[in-house]
Chain A
Amino acid sequence: MEKLFITQENLKIFVKNLKNDCDEFIAPRKENVDDIIFGDTKDNGRELSTYDGNSVTSPRSFLLPQTEPLFEIKSAKDCVLLPVEDRKKRIFYGVRPCDIKALTLMRKFFVDELADLPYKEKFENSTFIALSCDKRCSKECFCYEMDSGPYAKEGFDLQLTKIQQGYYVNIGSKKGSQIIRRQKKLFANAAPEFAKEIKNILKDFTKGIEKIDYKKLAGIIKQEKVKESVWDDIGVRCVVCSGCITLCPTCSCFSIADRLNGDKGMRMRYCDGCPYAGFTRMAGGSTPFPRHRDHIRRFFEHKLSVDVERYGTPSCVGCGRCIQTCPGNINIRKFINSVLEAQVL
């Protein structure tokens, strides 16, 4: 595939043109003091073309929002439901490689397997422009260790890498090359020394860090060799805030509930998941997971063990968001380390 280059100035034109070609341009914005959050900048030009750190929320919050209407209930009495469709054309700009990997995993789950129409619709109408990382986005980030950064390998339409003179551009899909083709004159062929510069960035990024042997990790967890005290500690720490499952770019669990006003209303789906006791409790009150620690255990096992078997890679992408938001200081990174270290001894 051809390697391209775009200058800072041309990138601005490129973005401006892209905005004419979509309903929502979802890009990183700076809010409050220094919060980075993805939001629609189609009409306001508030996007950051490059930024440090990562967005508080991932693209998941647009494709599988915290709450979203599934159906309009036209008549509850007659059970007439009208699907709510979202065919908006969205361009996501500046998505970090960890989130790109998460999108790939979510595609496998929601689109490639038995498809979930509301997700599929939104996903297929979206374009993803990645922005690779030149440094750790936070002290909690461990993307390289989890094999999801600092560059995206797949799952993007275009990927930008900031270099001194501008941006190095990778094309990752047919959609990506079509976009480039339409604005060909803004791009130049990448000079060979740019590749060298990128190699150096990567070298700096990965200095002194090692990839996690996630297959080994998955095996230890599957064989239930994690010390009981590790799970007990997590049980005491988790205060069921639901922050981890809301911010995790690969959490997919949800519930469905209705809101009725008279005979009309909405059938909503909303984020739900492991931490809640009620997530698995049945109507009669019995539950397969009576101990609180096993709720987070289920979360970790799914991400770090089951999905390795299922997709060949963990569905924890090392973005660090669950660590940053946890009021119990539960740290999946430290958990991984402690599991692997305990195994060595």
Chain B
Amino acid sequence: MARVLTTCPYCGVGCGFYLEVVDGRLVGVIPSRSNSVSKGRLCVKGWHAHEPIQHPDRLRAPLIKKNGKFEEVSWDEALEFVAGRLKEIKTKYGPEAFAVCTSARCTNEENYLMMKFARAVLGTKNVDHCARTCHAATVSGLNQSFGSGASTNSYDELPFMDCILIIGSNPTEAHPIVGWRVRSAIDNGAKIIVCDPRKILPAESADIYIQHYPGTDIALINAMINFIVTQNLHNKEFIEERTEGFEQLWQVVKDYTPESVEGITGIKSSQIKQAAKLYAASKRSCIMYSLGMTEHIVGTDNIISMANLAMVCGHVGKEFSGLYPMRGQNNVQGACDMGALPNVYSGYQSVADEEVRDKFEKLWKVDLPSGTGLTLTDMMFKAIEGALKCFYIIGEDQLRTDPDTHMIERALGSLDFLVVQEIFLSETAKKADVVLPGASFAEKDGTFTCAERRFQRVRKAIEPISGKTDGDIICEISKRLGYVMESDPKKVCDEMASVSPIFAGVSFERLEGNGLQWPVPSKDHPGTPVVHLGKFRRGAGKFIPVKNKPPAEVPDKEYPFVLSTGRLLFHYNTGTMTTRVANLIREYPRNFVQINTTDAERLDIKRRQKVKVKTRRGELEVLAEITDKIKMGVLWMPFHFSNEPTNVLTNSAFDPVCRTGEYKVCAARIEKVEG
């Protein structure tokens, strides 16, 4: 019997637990009490993290599609084949015909390798990952305002806040162990403001609950700023000493009186004022947000508006304050950090910076492509146009996670060659020419970085089921293309640290215990729980005025509802893992749509009745869940069920800056299905 300490593979909170192994079989999970993130707590997914790993559906051998059907082949055959095809494509179309999609599910080391593989081996600029579909807006927004695109503060400050503004985030369901800290804050007497079209669980214990329409966040926040300034509740000293551009902000925000946004938001001005006053006047106030803010065509602006609000009140750049972007995936923070983005190398070093490129060229001993590559969103469009010929995807199921499934289907169908590295045969993997069986978190060593910028160790509990980790696979293909990369995770981590100033102090040795929060600029630096202390990373915090803009699609006669989507406590993203856990799938076995009681009565829709949800892009039959916890005129669906995929409905309209799709708002209709 063995017990291996590792980090949870689900959401971005980064809980620590031990995997129990008996005779090579994963039998259970034991939470680590001394882990500083989870302190002996786990959510229901974490408690069952061992269960899907050795599921019979796991891919065990590489698959090559021959005459439209997958055939199991040896590793040698698969790797030779992939390397051969990659070479052909490079010769025929040049390196810019490639696009590489790395994985927020994989380790930092594997993301670094994949980023290196894309740039140094394939020679393409086009590398990105699924942060594009979640928190790219955070990276671009907070970077403009503060100079760093990650969480400003740490989890452990939350229980001691006086006021937590939760907007577009459902910590209880999506990030339960941060949800625990919110619960502790409530128990310690903190005031909670929840802004959400659905009356989520924290709203039950909130002091102020604002049920605004999806896609009207900027109007709401600008109105709060307006009220704060007119009431003289703003922190003049902070604005004077630490920020710039307040006058420009005021020129825009002065028109956003709480009264003027009542119609847009569907919220009474008195409630907006109450919330603004509570947030501004509390001594320790923070904002917690998630994809409810980022997945809009105004995602970046949404984030900037919150940064403005925080700076106006001086609730940032110190302990017990700040912005908490709740990251969705175990290592989406890390994948961004490792430079799996089209515009930066690891440590957010710009690809446009000649000196930086020079440094990487010297280290990797190759010429690197110059300029910014394509984002995931644009890769899809370019594939349809025919400019991209080959996708190499690791651990992501675009056909289920990206908005407008039918468009993604067309994009993948236009490729000459599609390689997918996966642990289960996902819908995207089914479209691939070659499927390479990867390894789960339990089968590899490495690090994940959680939403509080904490590097934590991932440790191997069992041998890779397919015989190889994702890192091994990349290195072997690279070798076959004539470029040798170090695959030992520890050494990869060292290389990464040596070339990324903000992670310079990171090494496996130093991560023993409770990891390190970046920036860690040197080997003796203790890590950084609170960023922007005394001074923002960019110098002065920048007020950038933003205006509200209606979503790409607004309800009309034909599609009279607003459809929004989100996560359930019991499932995780496309459900490849959680739908294979008996107790989890039993709680929510199928997709459904939430509709307000009054709307349901009007349309004569009964509980658990089959209904058809339709948008301009597709339709889906699901069961109706009738609840008074959702705003009238709004529909809500989870996105976890691969056989009833919600994203056939969602809109691929995207934010022009960060290019994240507008999952959270589209126009929809709902009708009964007879029989």
Residue positions of A touching B, CB distance < 8 A: 24, 31-35, 37, 39-40, 56-57, 61, 65-68, 236-237, 239-243, 246, 255, 257, 259-261, 265, 270, 272, 276-278, 281, 285, 324-329
User: Which one of B3, B40, B177, B570 contacts A324 once the chains associate, using CB atoms below 8 Å?
Assistant: B40
Assembled-state Cα–Cα distance A241/B570 (Å): 9
B40 touches A325 (CB 8 A): yes
> What's the least CB distance linking B185 to chain A, in Å?
11
A259: which B residues are within 8 A, CB to CB? 55-56
B34 touches A243 (CB 8 A): no
B180 touches A329 (CB 8 A): yes
> What's the least CB distance linking A229 to chain B, in Å?
13
A241 touches B47 (CB 8 A): yes
> What's the least CB distance linking B57 to chain A, in Å?
9
A39 touches B1 (CB 8 A): yes
B28 touches A61 (CB 8 A): yes
B172 touches A239 (CB 8 A): yes
B514: which A residues are within 8 A, CB to CB? 33
A-B contact pairs, 16 of them (CB 8 A): A31-B18, A33-B514, A66-B20, A66-B50, A67-B28, A68-B27, A239-B176, A239-B201, A240-B44, A241-B46, A242-B47, A324-B33, A325-B31, A326-B41, A328-B183, A329-B187
User: Which one of B27, B33, B173 contacts A67 once the chains associate, using CB atoms below 8 Å?
Assistant: B27
Q: Is B32 an interface residue (CB 8 A)?
A: yes
In the complex with contacts A236-B201, A259-B56, A261-B56, A243-B30 CB distance below 8 A: no
A281: which B residues are within 8 A, CB to CB? 586
In the complex with contacts A32-B513, A259-B56, A241-B34 CB distance below 8 A: no
Assembled-state Cα–Cα distance A326/B42 (Å): 8
Residue positions of B touching A, CB distance < 8 A: 1, 3, 5, 16, 18, 20, 27-35, 40-44, 46-48, 50-51, 55-56, 172-173, 176-177, 179-180, 183-184, 187, 201, 204-205, 513-514, 569-570, 582-583, 586-587, 608
In the complex with contacts A241-B41, A241-B176, A276-B587, A40-B1 CB distance below 8 A: yes
The 3 lowest CB-CB distance pairs between A and B, nearest first, are: A66-B28, A327-B180, A278-B586
> What's the least CB distance linking B420 to chain A, in Å?
23
User: Which one of A66, A255, A324 contacts B582 once the chains associate, using CB atoms below 8 Å?
Assistant: A255
> What's the least CB distance linking B155 to chain A, in Å?
12
In the complex with contacts A65-B27, A327-B177, A241-B44 CB distance below 8 A: yes
A56: which B residues are within 8 A, CB to CB? 30-33, 40
B583 touches A255 (CB 8 A): yes
A245 nearest in chain B by CB position: B47
Assembled-state Cα–Cα distance A281/B608 (Å): 15
B177: which A residues are within 8 A, CB to CB? 327
A255 nearest in chain B by CB position: B582
Assembled-state Cα–Cα distance A242/B586 (Å): 14
User: Which one of B3, B179, B180 contacts A31 once the chains associate, using CB atoms below 8 Å?
Assistant: B3
Assembled-state Cα–Cα distance A32/B511 (Å): 11
> What's the least CB distance linking A9 to chain B, in Å?
29
Assembled-state Cα–Cα distance A272/B138 (Å): 39
9 additional A-B pairs beyond A61-B30, A325-B31, beta carbons within 8 Å, are A32-B5, A241-B42, A241-B176, A259-B55, A259-B56, A276-B587, A326-B41, A327-B180, A327-B183
A260: which B residues are within 8 A, CB to CB? 56
B44: which A residues are within 8 A, CB to CB? 239-242
Assembled-state Cα–Cα distance A324/B35 (Å): 13
A246: which B residues are within 8 A, CB to CB? 47
> What's the least CB distance linking A81 to chain B, in Å?
17
B587: which A residues are within 8 A, CB to CB? 240, 276-278
B608 touches A239 (CB 8 A): no
A327 nearest in chain B by CB position: B180
In the complex with contacts A239-B569, A324-B40, A272-B183 CB distance below 8 A: no
> What's the least CB distance linking A283 to chain B, in Å?
11
B176 touches A66 (CB 8 A): no
B46: which A residues are within 8 A, CB to CB? 241
Residue from the set A65, A241, A285, A326 with the largest chain B CB neighbour count within 10 Å: A241
Assembled-state Cα–Cα distance A285/B201 (Å): 23
Assembled-state Cα–Cα distance A236/B55 (Å): 34
B29: which A residues are within 8 A, CB to CB? 66
User: Which one of B3, B179, B513 contacts A239 once the chains associate, using CB atoms below 8 Å?
Assistant: B179
B28 touches A327 (CB 8 A): no
Assembled-state Cα–Cα distance A326/B27 (Å): 22
A325 touches B41 (CB 8 A): yes
A237 touches B608 (CB 8 A): no
A328 touches B583 (CB 8 A): no
> What's the least CB distance linking B8 to chain A, in Å?
12
Residue from the set A37, A260, A278, A326 with the largest chain B CB neighbour count within 10 Å: A278
Assembled-state Cα–Cα distance A61/B582 (Å): 19
> What's the least CB distance linking A226 to chain B, in Å?
20
Residue from the set A67, A237, A240, A272 with the largest chain B CB neighbour count within 10 Å: A67
B176: which A residues are within 8 A, CB to CB? 239, 241, 327
B55 touches A37 (CB 8 A): no
A239: which B residues are within 8 A, CB to CB? 43-44, 172-173, 176, 179, 201, 569
